[in-house]
Chains A and B, each alone.
Chain A
Amino acid sequence: MDKKYIDELLYKISTGDNKAFEELYIKTRKGVFSLLYTYLENYHDAEDAMQTVYLRIKRGIHSYSVGTNGSAWILQIAKNYALTELKRHRQTVDLESVPEQSYDFEFNSVSDIMKRVLSPDEQRIVVLHVLWDYKHKEIGKVMGMPTGTVTSKYKRALEKLRNAIKEVE
């Protein structure tokens, strides 16, 4: 993901360019969705959350300063919203019955396998590295982990994924 390009799009959006907003959505939606999915663990919740995240990006565009890492800003909005949703969801679950966990990706698809074999931390590391082109050092900063931990977790995650996919095949 080209961080400079994202920054440029954010600037265009701030000037009222709705096309740039659509372009931003297309460029970043997989990354945003996948990050949300690691928190919410449900396709529909992640999909709904994603729409809200983009709404927040639009509404809060002026709180972003050009050149201060647009993707990090988007990720932060997504993460904050996911955590708020989780909290709200937990409260609802306390009051009502516990809903069945549903996986909306096909069984044995890569997303499904990732969900089953990787820990949430490992999933986030893979999402940030693969979909957001984040370096391990940057991931460490975002997740509050030493770079070494990120590297080892990433390696372990790849190994787990590889083995799981081999088993499936």
Chain B
Amino acid sequence: MKDIFEKWDKELDSKMTRLRQDVLDEPIPTKPFEIKEAKKKKPIFKYMSIACSIAAVIVLCICIIPLLRSGTDPQLPPSSVAPNTPGGTVIVPLQGETSMITVEINPRTLFIIDKDGKVTDAVATNEDADVVIMSEGFDEAVIGKGISDAIVNYVDFVSRLGYIDTTSEDSQIKITANESESGKKALSGAKEKLQSHLSSIGAVTSIVDKTATVEEICELNGLDRLDKIEKVVDKISSESPFFSDRTVGALDEEELVDYYKDVIKGTLRVEVTKSLQMAYDVLELTRLNEAIWYSTMFWGDYWALVGSDLTIKGYELLEEYVAKMGEKLSAFKENYGIEITGSDQLISLAYGLSEEWLKGIENSLEKLDGIEEYKKLFDHFGKETDIFEKLDKTPTRDEVLEEKKNFIKEQNSNRLDKSKGEKPSESQPSDEPKGEPGEPPTGAPNEPSHRTKE
């Protein structure tokens, strides 16, 4: 082998270049050498705390999406969330009394389970999994549950967060167990339960199961290669369950800044952009619906109109609003997996956006050194920034109701004062409806006074 390595050495020699001039010219810091590493680490921890709090904010931004979805449409199956990336792995290594389970569906989470097969801890082993395990309700749904139920609940969380599209035939969940009997048993139980759950919600995701050694599982999870489950459990129990925390702890100052910029900020940027896009769409729908409501002189909203046997022929602007609303609703369903079926639901979404989302976004933006920097980022990526102003100005639910009450009162008194022959088009809003997101009436519609019956 010696000659091979000598040849290799020569090859490398011939390929080596000189140091770049800027590296050579870089001045050597003149600090005395005695400075200990611990002192240098201080700024790392300073950054770490920032990075950790940012990680928490990321979750806030992301988690609100499924919360809103489930809050406004409880029947919504998890699979109807906008598709992201299909595929995944569930690893079930069980050995001896204490066991561990890793679930990976792009988000990859390591579960520790006790001798009774109950999950005692969940550890994220990639960035996406941080988002999942920080989700509200995650602990209740997973910790303390039997492994089969925990995996089913985990897959639901992952699906709701859009990491897997269970309606896609390309989506796949891989389940891998270690080679012990208990591992195989847990694997088959989990697979069976998950399969039945997926069938019950009409999912077409396939499950692939296999076995692996503890070392292989460690490697797959990016952990130190340990040969015993107990060692793995000891190690992960002594560390943060969040991947971001652990990664940040291992980086030097410069890498930490890179990590912050590339990973945390990048993830946050993507998530906030998604959230803001949804917010923007909801506001647009709300305004269109209001425009329809105004155009019918408060007879009814979009759903009342399309559900009635009335036609709107001849009212061009109203026709345009209705057509646009239909298109926007279809696009909304396609993009976010949410079918809006009435004003109540729409106003709930707008309300959620104005309250919770704004809070989350504001917090995120603070961590990104303020709204101005974020606006610059949005500009850089060609995103509209006026959404910040719009969201900032979004009133609370009480304010909206109060405003609506006053508006209706005002309109009614105006109508009484004015002559009755006024055409609806005169009171219609312009092409760009100016109304704030509000709550159009959702009760039984009154008889329209200015519409043509067929």
Contact = CB atoms under 8 A, between A and B. Distances in A.
Contact of A111 (B12, B19, B250): B12
A11 to B, nearest CB: 7
Contact of B266 (A14, A91, A143): A91
**Which of under 10, 10 to 19, 20 to 34, or 35 or more describes the interface residues of B?**
35 or more
Contact of A110 (B8, B215, B218): B8
A18 B13 contact: no
A60 B266 contact: no
A80 B32 CA distance: 25
Nearest to A129: B5
Interface in A48-82: 51, 54-56, 58-66, 77, 80-81
Given A110-B11, A162-B1, A144 B225 contact: yes
Contact of B23 (A43, A54, A91): A54
A144 B227 CA distance: 10
B24 interface: yes
Size class of A's contact patch? 35 or more
A120 to B, nearest CB: 11
Interface in B35-52: 35-37, 40
Interface string A104-133: 011001110010000000000000001000
B227 A146 contact: yes
Nearest to A114: B8
Nearest to A76: B252
Given A30-B9, A30-B16, A84-B255, A59 B29 contact: yes
B453 interface: no
Contact of B255 (A58, A80, A146, A149): A80
Contacts of A25: 19
B262 A88 contact: yes
Interface string A17-38: 1100110010001100110000
Contacts of B26: 55, 58-59
Contacts of B11: 105-106, 109-111
A34 B255 contact: no
B35 A84 contact: no
B28 A111 contact: no
B12 A34 contact: yes
Name the residue in B7, B28, B263 with the highest tally of chain A Cβ atoms < 10 Å from its Cβ.
B28
Contacts, number: 109
Chain A CB count within 10 A is highest, among B26, B224, B254, for B254
A47 B1 contact: no
Interface string B144-183: 0000000000000000000000000000000000000000
Given A34-B12, A84-B259, A61 B4 contact: no
Interface string A132-169: 00000000000111100100000000100110010000
B393 interface: no
Nearest to A46: B15
Which of the listed residues A11, A80, A149 has the most CB atoms from chain B within 10 Å of its own CB?
A80
B28 A61 contact: yes
Contacts of A59: 26, 29, 254
Interface of A: 11, 13-18, 21-22, 25, 29-30, 33-34, 43, 47, 51, 54-56, 58-66, 77, 80-81, 84, 87-88, 91, 105-106, 109-111, 114, 130, 143-146, 149, 158, 161-162, 165
Given A11-B33, A33-B15, A158-B1, 17 more contacts: A25-B19, A29-B16, A30-B9, A33-B16, A34-B12, A51-B20, A59-B29, A60-B254, A62-B35, A63-B35, A87-B262, A111-B11, A111-B15, A130-B5, A146-B227, A149-B215, A162-B4
For the complex of A and B, 7 pairs with smallest distance between CB atoms: A144-B224, A110-B8, A63-B40, A14-B33, A30-B12, A62-B31, A144-B225
